[in-house]
Amino acid sequence: MTASPHPAPGARAVLESSPDALLVVSEDGIIRLVNAATERMFGYARGELVGQDHRMLLAEGFRSGFHRLFFALRKDADAAPGLPPVEAYGVRRDGTEFQGEVACSLLVQDTGDAPMSMAVAVRDTSHRLAADAGLREALSLLSATLESTADGILVVGGDGRIASVNNQFISMWGVPRELLATQDDDAVMGFVLDQLVDPAQFVEKIAALYADPASESHDVLDFHDGRTFERYSRPQKVADRVVGRVWSFRDVTPARIAQDRITQAMADLAEQAAQLKALAFQDPLTGLSNRQLFNDHLEAALRGPCGTAVDVLLLDLDDFKEVNDILGHHAGDQLLIEVGRRLRECVRPNDVVARLGGDEFVVLLVGSLDPGMVAERIVASLKVPLWIDGTMLRPSLSLGLASINEDAVDASELLRRADIAMYAAKAAGKNRYLRFRPEMMKSLVERTELEAGLRLAVDAGQITVYYQPIVSARSGVVVKVEALARWERGGEIVPPAQFIPAAERSGLIVEIGTEVLLKGCTELRPWLAEDPSRALAVNVSGVQLQHGDFAELLLAVARSTGVDPRQLVVEVTESVFFHDDVHVIQQLTALRNTGVRVALDDFGTGFSSLGRLQGLPVDTLKIDQSFTAMIHTGDEKLPILSCMIAMAHGLGLSVTAEGVETAAQAEYLIKLDCDSLQGYLFSRPQAGPGLRSAIARSNDAFAALLGVRVPGPR
């Protein structure tokens, strides 16, 4: 009896509700049984299928495998009850085809000798087709992306061999395609390493990553040809399992060059800014701080903790103008630079040293224990002589020291006090330091009042003239008088030392000088007229000579007062000859052409030397009183003095000695062949009305001198 292919009722329910098409096909290929899913899948009614050849359900090309399958199943029947599913194409009743998966197994029979049948399960896999298409699309998208990215990509398999590269990788690294085709990975690696500045680092990184397959990395590679790549590496994973490694390389050379340029530009800018800042706060000549920076530091120091000592040392070079005038601006600059250097050496590195302008410097000491000692050190430091352009200079300075104290002063007041102390130091004889004392305010007020009062004094005719006789050593009589300005101020006589400097600063000296000249000529005309060998000497400041019309003015005054120009002497100091303008020389030369004589006043002070005298429009040398003062007993050897007089004579100049106060000095100078003598020994300067008797006293004094010299009976 043939086993019925019709299942029992319980099994039938399972069969009918199966989502897969289930069929039983007998060994002759005839369909014996189908379920509901078969009807749905193929579009036939059950009756149209049972008893028909199974091949009606298969698409062309898939209809011949049945016997082979049957044979294979029967052969392995014991070992495996089925075969793996196969792909096949089915054909529906309407002729359309679909892809499906067919699984077969032998139908287990109740009795061993029954004819063989095969159970067939068919599953429609059309849905997979859609999924495959999606996968293919995704793959093509991936490869298109890989090829269009600017990154070079290298994939290395789990076995360490190159699995794939994109075109960009090949062109970035310049790997020849033939080399890649050889699949000789070591050769490719060698080719890569040759291009790198640091191949060892490249290899190390790879080793480190293979030791830790799940890790990611990012680093930068530098090439011999100047290029820079960024290197990224991440593991290639399939379902959490690392199966290889993806390397991507990005050429960041342009970005790096741009970045380098930016960095350089920023550095340049920063340097420029620093230079500008330094310039804004630096004195260009000495490199010291400037006024602005000093003020900032001073303000900050005063805002600092209470009780901290703050000292301001204001200083000004003595007679700096002369250095500039006589030796030139270059020498002046050299001196200022040297002073700046010495100042720095006198203070701690953090103390602020600034140049305020001209020859004025300032030092700020914060927390100094002994500012007086620093001030002393500064004054002493300048005593060391220095050589500039072959001339030895011994600069000196006057320094004012002001400190913050209980009456808590602000920055500007502190500076003002230092300034007052500095002026006091100058007034006290220069080349020293003085600490500010409140009494100094008084002299400051006096000074300001003096300057204001001077103009009024000129207008009010308070400038008068005193005369001092000058005795000829040869004839023993007064042949010359020097006109010296005086200021009659409210019944007291102000000496010129107190107002001439102020008059020179304000320019009032021009009017004062003219006044002295006019009064001198007017008052002395009768005395001069008595003897043509008599002369009147007037002091002329450099400021006056810088006015172009001085020579004309002097001659006009001489004419209007009836004084012969040959009876006039102008006394100038050495410094007037070293002003930049040739104007001064021209004027003095013009005056000498009319018979006016020129005397060089205060000779031996300042910075000039006998060597410079040659060729100057000068007739007389007036030896400064400081040289006369060197004569005490008359027995000392003073080669400087004898040398000066001899040299002057050698140059054809006459010599007058100033400040002769004692007979010993007069005798000494006469012995040295000095031509004229001037000083208190003969007469102090006298007002016009007292001049005649002063001259008589001078003549007597000289005669008495001779009396001492000529031994005779007592």
Give the distance from CA 434 to its chain's centroid.
37
For the segment 70-129, give every residue that binds ligand C2E (CB under 6 A).
none
Quick one: 222 or 488, whose CB is closer to ligand C2E?
Answer: 488
Q: Which of 379, 601, 644, 666 binds Ca ion (CB under 5 A)?
A: 601
User: Cβ distance 712 to 701 under 8 Å?
Assistant: no
Tokens 């050495």 correspond to 574
Nearest residue to Ca ion on Cβ basis: 571
659 binds, among ligand C2E, Ca ion, none (CB under 5 to 8 A by kind): ligand C2E
500 binds, among Ca ion, ligand C2E, none (CB under 5 to 8 A by kind): ligand C2E
Cα separation, 628 vs 281, whole angstroms: 49
Quick one: 509 or 551, whose CB is closer to ligand C2E?
Answer: 509
Quick one: 31 or 484, whose CB is closer to ligand C2E?
Answer: 484
Residues with Cβ within 8 Å of 493's Cβ and at least 6 positions away in sequence, in order, are: 486, 487
User: Cβ distance 503 to 454 under 8 Å?
Assistant: yes
Q: Which of 33, 346, 365, 484 binds ligand C2E (CB under 6 A)?
A: 484
User: Cβ distance 362 to 356 under 8 Å?
Assistant: yes
676 binds, among Ca ion, ligand C2E, none (CB under 5 to 8 A by kind): none
Query: What is the distance between the terminal CA atoms of the chain, rounded to a whole angstrom?
Result: 198
For residues 227 to 266, the per-residue mask of contacts with ligand C2E, x marking binding by CB under 6 A and - elsewhere, is ----------------------------------------
The reply to whether 674 sits near ligand C2E by the rule CB under 6 A is no
Q: Which of 661, 662, 664, 687 binds ligand C2E (CB under 6 A)?
A: 661
Quick one: 401 or 478, whose CB is closer to ligand C2E?
Answer: 478
User: Cβ distance 146 to 155 under 8 Å?
Assistant: no
Give the distance from CA 175 to its chain's centroid.
50
Nearest residue to ligand C2E on Cβ basis: 679
Cα separation, 494 vs 662, whole angstroms: 26
Cα separation, 348 vs 363, whole angstroms: 11
The reply to whether 351 sits near Ca ion by the rule CB under 5 A is no
Stretch that binds ligand C2E, among 112-120, 190-198, 269-277, 674-682 (CB under 6 A): 674-682
Pair of tokens at residue 7: 């299942």
DSSP states along 364-376: EEES-S-HHHHHH
The reply to whether 679 sits near ligand C2E by the rule CB under 6 A is yes
Helix (H) / strand (E) containing 640: helix 639-650
Give the distance from CA 85 to its chain's centroid.
85
Q: Which amino acid is at 70?
A: F
CB of residue 678 to Ca ion, shortest distance in Å = 8
Cα separation, 612 vs 344, whole angstroms: 35
For the segment 511-570, give every residue that binds Ca ion (CB under 5 A).
539
Cα separation, 676 vs 672, whole angstroms: 11
Tokens 């005795």 correspond to 471
Quick one: 376 or 602, whose CB is closer to Ca ion?
Answer: 602
User: Cβ distance 436 to 418 under 8 Å?
Assistant: yes
Quick one: 355 or 486, whose CB is closer to ligand C2E?
Answer: 486
DSSP states along 58-100: B-TTSSS-HHHHHHHHHHTTTT-SB---EEEEEE-TTS-EEEE
DSSP secondary structure code for residue 566 in this structure: G
Stretch that binds Ca ion, among 199-207, 298-306, 401-409, 656-664 (CB under 5 A): 656-664
CA distances to 496, 500, 519 from 544, rounded to whole Å, are 16, 12, 17
Residues with Cβ within 8 Å of 178's Cβ and at least 6 positions away in sequence, in order, are: none
Quick one: 39 or 602, whose CB is closer to ligand C2E?
Answer: 602
For residues 498 to 537, the per-residue mask of contacts with ligand C2E, x marking binding by CB under 6 A and - elsewhere, is --x--------x---x--x---------------------
The reply to whether 605 sits near Ca ion by the rule CB under 5 A is no
CB of residue 493 to ligand C2E, shortest distance in Å = 10
For the segment 624-643, give every residue that binds ligand C2E (CB under 6 A).
625
Stretch that binds ligand C2E, among 11-19, 340-348, 397-405, 654-662 (CB under 6 A): 654-662
Cα separation, 195 vs 185, whole angstroms: 16
CB of residue 651 to Ca ion, shortest distance in Å = 19
3-state secondary structure of 222: strand
Cα separation, 462 vs 605, whole angstroms: 31
CB of residue 334 to Ca ion, shortest distance in Å = 29
Stretch that binds ligand C2E, among 51-59, 192-200, 291-299, 678-686 (CB under 6 A): 678-686
User: Cβ distance 567 to 532 under 8 Å?
Assistant: yes
CB of residue 602 to Ca ion, shortest distance in Å = 4
Quick one: 351 or 571, whose CB is closer to ligand C2E?
Answer: 571
Quick one: 210 or 680, whose CB is closer to ligand C2E?
Answer: 680
For the segment 532-591, give every residue that binds ligand C2E (CB under 6 A).
539, 541, 571
Tokens 């001030």 correspond to 375
Stretch that binds ligand C2E, among 74-82, 107-115, 496-504, 579-587 (CB under 6 A): 496-504
Stretch that binds ligand C2E, among 123-131, 256-264, 314-322, 673-681 (CB under 6 A): 673-681
The reply to whether 602 sits near ligand C2E by the rule CB under 6 A is yes
Binding site for ligand C2E (CB under 6 A): 468, 484-485, 495-497, 500, 509, 513, 516, 539, 541, 571, 601-602, 625, 658-661, 678-680, 685
Binding site for Ca ion (CB under 5 A): 539, 571, 601-602, 658
